[in-house]
Amino acid sequence: MKLTPEEWRVKLSHEEHRVLRESGTERPHTSELNLEWRNGTYHCKGCDMRLFDSASKFNAGCGWPSFDREVPDANISRIVDQTHGMIRIEVRCSKCDSHLGHVFPDGPTETGTRYCINGVCLTFRHEP
């Protein structure tokens, strides 16, 4: 999905644009999706690609929605991020290249993975 910078500014709110297109971070504990526990799927706010399902979500206590695995067809991109004096792995949507958050090797499930995702980057679809 290729949009011009101006098209992205029109499509997204100021905060969504800051996080998705400028690799910002939302404040912890501000996303309503952090407290979402119904069955459903989480999609990229930029392009609507399905990224995570509710079965992979867990409470990491970090203040952002956390998942232990992506859906098989998401193919989330991983990029070494050396900003802020740290070395982390940034995750981006493989379809629209929007920043989502970071992935860490400290998850509590059998995957050992914790995707720490900005809630502002996601839309949730409830599936009863």
Q: Which of 44, 96, 116, 121 is catalytic?
A: 116
The DSSP H or E segment spanning 4 is none
Render 20-65 in DSSP notation, one character per residue. HTT---PPTT--GGGG--SSEEEEETTT--EEEEGGGEE--SSSS-
Q: Residue 36 in contact with residue 17, Cβ under 8 Å?
A: no
Q: Is 116 a catalytic residue?
A: yes
Comparing C-alpha atoms, which of 63, 16, 68 is closest to residue 44? 16
Give catalytic residue positions: 116
